[in-house]
C-alpha cells in the first residue's frame, strides 16, 4: 500500500482523494477543524493548518509516519506548500521555486519576458501614489491586480484616474503578501488551455474559449467551452509558448494551465495567467474527461508517488464538447426563483452547483468568481449543441431580484 498526504480537505481536494482511494492508497488529509469533507473521506486526519509546513514535515520526518507522496490540486495557495514539504521529505515534486513562479504574477511576467514572449506593459507598485503614476505612464485603461490571489479576487478594470485609489486598495487587501501590479489592458479574444507535465515533458491537449460577463470593473468568466473555436495554428502557438516556460522551469510533473488573450490586430498572443494545478469550476475533473476522454486525477496521484504515467503516449482523444455555464444575480433582494430543478432535466446537463438562495435573501455586490450563484456542467457532441443547451438553460432558470433600479433578472453573459 502507498501512503499519500493531501494538503487541504476542502471540496476541491475531493476528486484527488477519491482517485487516490481508488488506487488503493492510504490517504492522510491535513487541515484545520471545520466542515471540510476531506476529513471524513481520509483514512487519517492531521489537525494542522496547511501553512504549518515545518510542523507537517516533522510529523513524517525520520519515518514517524509512512509517506510515499504529497499532493494537492485546484489550489494556488497549496502549490508551494506541497513542493516545500515534498522537497524536505525527498519526495517527488514540481519544485518549490517553480511553484513560486506559478503563483506570483510579477515573477512569472519577468520570466515570460526573459524567454522572449510578449508581455503587457506593467509595473509593480507599493502605494496608491505609485499606482496612480504607473497608470498614467502605461496609459488607460489598465488592470490593477494582486500579485497573488485566487478566484479573480482584487482584480479591477480601471478606465480613469479617479478609479485607481479604490482599485489599489482592493488589490492590496486581496493579496496574500500585499503586493500589487498595474498592467496595460489588452483587448482581444480570450482562451484557456490545459496540459499535463510528465517526466518534465509538456503535453498540451485541451483548449477552450473563455467568455466573460459584460461588467464595468471586474473580470469574471461565465464559461469555459471546450473545444475552442480556433485553428490549429493558434493552438500550436499556445503550446510552443507554454513549452518554453516548462522547458525553462522544468517541473517534473503536474497539471498546468494558462489563460490567453489574442490580439488579432497586432497578431500578438499574451499569457494572462498560468498555474501548476488543475483548473477549478469542474474544468479538470469534469469538462476535460467529458470532452477529451482523459481523467488526469489518477495520473496526478501516480506521478506524486514517483510513477511515470507516460501521458504523452495518449494518442486518441475524444473530440466531444463540454462546458460550464454560470449566472450572477444583481445586488438587491431575491423576489422569485424558478427552474433550478427543471434545468437538471435538460438533455446534456451533467450536474449543477447552485449557491444556497431563497426568496427574500439579500444579494451582494458582484466582485469576483465567488459571486457566481450557479455553475452548470453540460456536454454535447459539438459546440453548436452546447450553444443550444445554454439557450435552454437561460429559458428555464428564471430568478428575479429587486434592485435600486427596479426588477432585474439573472445575468448570464
Kindly provide the b/e burial profile for residues 217-226, where b requires at least 16 CB atoms within 10 angstroms of the residue's own CB: bbbbbbbbbb
Share of the chain above pLDDT 70, in %: 98
Share of the chain above pLDDT 90, in %: 81
Whether 113 is in a domain gets the answer no
Last residue of a domain, one of 318, 340, 367: 318
Same domain, 195 and 164: no
Q: Which of 126, 182, 135, 134 is nearest to 154 (CA)?
A: 182
Same domain, 313 and 194: yes
Rounded to two decimals, the pTM is 0.91
Q: How many domains does the chain have?
A: 4
Kindly provide the b/e burial profile for residues 241-272, where b requires at least 16 CB atoms within 10 angstroms of the residue's own CB: bbebbbeebebbbbbbbbbbbbeeeeeebbbb
Q: Which of 29, 62, 33 is nearest to 46 (CA)?
A: 29
Computed over every residue of the chain, the mean pLDDT equals: 93
CATH number at residue 17: 3.40.50.20
Query: DSSP class of residue 61?
Result: G
Cis (ω within 30 of 0) for the bond into 227?
A: yes
Which domain, by its residues, includes 207?
A: 187-318
Q: Which alpha helices (DSSP H) does 139-265 contain, by range?
A: 164-174, 232-249
Q: What is the pLDDT of residue 174?
A: 85
pLDDT per position as a tens digit, 265-304: 999 999 988 999 999 999 999 999 999 998 999 999 999 9
CA 15, distance to chain mean position in Å, is: 15
CATH number at residue 177: 3.30.1490.20
pLDDT per position as a tens digit, 295-308: 999 999 999 999 98
Same domain, 206 and 305: yes
pLDDT per position as a tens digit, 45-55: 999 999 999 99
pLDDT per position as a tens digit, 173-229: 888 778 899 989 889 999 999 999 999 999 999 999 999 999 988 889 999 999 999
Nine cell digits for residue 128: 496608491
Same domain, 178 and 231: no
The residues, ordered by sequence, that sit 6+ positions from 65 with a Cβ below 8 Å of its Cβ are: 3, 28, 59
Amino acid at each position: 500500500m502507498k501512503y499519500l498526504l493531501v494538503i487541504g480537505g476542502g471540496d476541491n481536494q475531493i476528486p484527488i482523494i477519491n482517485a487516490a482511494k481508488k488506487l488503493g492508497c492510504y490517504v492522510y488529509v491535513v487541515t484545520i477543524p471545520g466542515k471540510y469533507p476531506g476529513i471524513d473521506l481520509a483514512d487519517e486526519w492531521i489537525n494542522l493548518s496547511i501553512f504549518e509546513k515545518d510542523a507537517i514535515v516533522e510529523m513524517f520526518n525520520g519515518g514517524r509516519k509512512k509517506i510515499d507522496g504529497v499532493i494537492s490540486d485546484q489550489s494556488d495557495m497549496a502549490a508551494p506548500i506541497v513542493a516545500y514539504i515534498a522537497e524536505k521529505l525527498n519526495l517527488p515534486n514540481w519544485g518549490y521555486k517553480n511553484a513560486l513562479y506559478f503563483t506570483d504574477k510579477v515573477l512569472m511576467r519577468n520570466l515570460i519576458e526573459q524567454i522572449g514572449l510578449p508581455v503587457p506593459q506593467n509595473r509593480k507598485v507599493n502605494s496608491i501614489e505609485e499606482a496612480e503614476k504607473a497608470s498614467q505612464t502605461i496609459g488607460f485603461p489598465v488592470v490593477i491586480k494582486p500579485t497573488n490571489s485566487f478566484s479573480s479576487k482584487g482584480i479591477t478594470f480601471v478606465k480613469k484616474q479617479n478609479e485607481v485609489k479604490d482599485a489599489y486598495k482592493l488589490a492590496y487587501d486581496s493579496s496574500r503578501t500585499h503586493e500589487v501590479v498595474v498592467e496595460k489592458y489588452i483587448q482581444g479574444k480570450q482562451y484557456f488551455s490545459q496540459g499535463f507535465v510528465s517526466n518534465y515533458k509538456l503535453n498540451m491537449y485541451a483548449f477552450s474559449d473563455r467568455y466573460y460577463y459584460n461588467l464595468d470593473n471586474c473580470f469574471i468568466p461565465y464559461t469555459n467551452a471546450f473545444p475552442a473555436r480556433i485553428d490549429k495554428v493558434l493552438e500550436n502557438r499556445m503550446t510552443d509558448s507554454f513549452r518554453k516556460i516548462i522547458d525553462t522551469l522544468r517541473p517534473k510533473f503536474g497539471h498546468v494551465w494558462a489563460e490567453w488573450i489574442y490580439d488579432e490586430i497586432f497578431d500578438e498572443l499574451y499569457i494572462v495567467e498560468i498555474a501548476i494545478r488543475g483548473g477549478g469550476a469542474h474544468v479538470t475533473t469534469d469538462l476535460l474527461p467529458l470532452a477529451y476522454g482523459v481523467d488526469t486525477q489518477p495520473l496526478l496521484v501516480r506521478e506524486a508517488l514517483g510513477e511515470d504515467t507516460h501521458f504523452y503516449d495518449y494518442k486518441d482523444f475524444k473530440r466531444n464538447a463540454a462546458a460550464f455555464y454560470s449566472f450572477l444575480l444583481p445586488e438587491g433582494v431575491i423576489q422569485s426563483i424558478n427552474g433550478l430543478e427543471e434545468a437538471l432535466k435538460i438533455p446534456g446537463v451533467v450536474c449543477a452547483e447552485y449557491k444556497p438562495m431563497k426568496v427574500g435573501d439579500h444579494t451582494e455586490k458582484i466582485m469576483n468568481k465567488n459571486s457566481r450563484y450557479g455553475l452548470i456542467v453540460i456536454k454535447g457532441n459539438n459546440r453548436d449543441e452546447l450553444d443550444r443547451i445554454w439557450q435552454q438553460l437561460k429559458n428555464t432558470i428564471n430568478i428575479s431580484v429587486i434592485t435600486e433600479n427596479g426588477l432585474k433578472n439573472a445575468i448570464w453573459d
